[in-house]
Amino acid sequence: MFKSSNFDKLLDKATSNLRLDPDWPTILQICDLIRQNDCSPKYAVASVKKKLYSQNPHQAMFALLTLESIVKNCGSGVHDEVTSKGFCEMLRDLVKTTQHENLRNKILELIQAWAFAFRNTPKYRAVQDTVNILKAEGYKFPALKESDAMFSADTAPEWADGEVCHRCRVAFSLIVRRHHCRACGQVFCQQCSSKTSTLPKFGIEKEVRVCDACYDKVSRPPTS
Ligand SMILES: O=P(O)(O)O[C@@H]1[C@H](O)[C@H](OP(=O)(O)O)[C@@H](O)[C@H](O)[C@H]1O
Ligand SMILES: [Zn+2]
Ligand SMILES: [Zn+2]
């Protein structure tokens, strides 16, 4: 798991208890790793979650700021992780148990912003449920800043399933292996996805597999 150890190093750096202010460049590097699929959202969120329980208030706050950034920048893979019942219960538990007022307020701010951002996504309802429970328990939420709930970052599409190549319809088998285009997320045979490209619009700076159609699109000179 080389890639995740690279992630671990960056996360330790971003949440170092020797710091007094957030290490934004490192936090953004962490986002890039996740956006490029160099670290799985599940592994990333689980690692940040551990840091939230640090006794050092700076370290816990930096972990929270890292969590806020990966939710804003890394798309649905991360959203699936932070909106699970278990993760929401963990945040609710932290709100109740933390000794630090600023940490509690930051968690309340995040849960409220996510509930607003995911208000039209039924599968993420655990977040709104958590807001409702905390309100019923008397916690005061800060005023919602809608800007906090805008996740504008463009992220690569989820990979489609499929038994045949999306382009030439050949059936996958032990011989005809399945591959995915990182630009459209569709599934292809080797012949139809033999090219690579960077995908800066998704924060992918390294060469990744793309299908012929996406290759033509991304390598066509921008129309002047
Ligand atoms: O090689 P396999 O054991 O078939 O596994 C496939 C590879 O991991 C492909 O990666 P790639 O797209 O980078 O080739 C991936 O797109 C497919 O979903 C997997 O089934
Ligand atoms: Zn094909
Ligand atoms: Zn494609």
Unique residue bearing structure tokens 């109740």: 96
Helix 57-73 / helix 101-117 crossing angle, nearest 10 deg: 10
Residues with CB under 5 A from ligand 3 (ion): 181, 183-184, 211, 214
Pairing status of strand 204-210 against strand 187-188: unpaired
Distance 84 CA to ligand 3 centre (A): 30
Q: Dihedrals φ, ψ of 32, to 5°? A: -60, -40
Nearest to 62 by CA among 73, 48, 45: 48
Residue 179 near ligand 1, beta carbon < 6 Å: yes
Least confident of 40-44, 50-54, 149-153: 149-153
| Residue 83 DSSP class | T
The ipTM, to two decimals, is 0.92
Would you tell me how many other CB atoms lie within 10 Å of the CB of residue 14? 25
Structure tokens at 37: 């699929």
Instruction: Compare 219 and 188 and report the one with higher pLDDT.
Output: 188
Residue 165 predicted with pLDDT over 60: yes
Structure tokens at 107: 């968690």
Distance 180 CA to ligand 1 centre (A): 7
Residue 80 predicted with pLDDT over 90: yes
Q: How confident is the model at residue 3 (pLDDT cuts 50, 70, 90)?
A: low
Structure tokens at 39: 């670290």
| pLDDT tens sequence across 133-145 | 999 999 999 998 8
Ligand 1: which residue has its CA nearest to atom 11?
179
Contact 48/66 with Cβ under 8 angstroms? yes
Distance 114 CA to ligand 1 centre (A): 33
Residue 1 predicted with pLDDT over 60: no
Residue 223 predicted with pLDDT over 70: no
For residue 164, the SS3 value is strand
Which ligand 1 atom lies nearest to the CA of residue 181? 12
Residue 177 near ligand 1, beta carbon < 6 Å: yes
Q: What percent of the chain has pLDDT over 90?
A: 81
Residue 209 near ligand 1, beta carbon < 6 Å: yes
Among 36, 166, 179, 182, the mutation site with the greatest number of ligand 1 atoms within 8 A of its Cβ is 179
Residue 178 near ligand 1, beta carbon < 6 Å: yes
Structure tokens at 83: 């909106």
Contact 61/102 with Cβ under 8 angstroms? yes
Structure tokens at 117: 């951002």
Would you tell me how many other CB atoms lie within 10 Å of the CB of residue 47? 19
Q: Residue 109 carries which side chain, given as an amino acid letter?
A: E
Please give the average per-residue pLDDT across 162-182, as a whole number: 97
Least confident of 4-8, 34-38, 44-48, 160-164: 4-8
Structure tokens at 27: 């936090």
Per the document, the length of the chain is 224
Structure tokens at 43: 């592994």
| pLDDT tens sequence across 87-129 | 999 999 999 999 999 999 999 999 999 999 999 999 999 999 9
pLDDT reported for residue 171: 98
Q: Dihedrals φ, ψ of 197, to 5°? A: -160, 155
Q: How confident is the model at residue 16 (pLDDT cuts 50, 70, 90)?
A: very high
| pLDDT tens sequence across 22-31 | 999 999 999 9
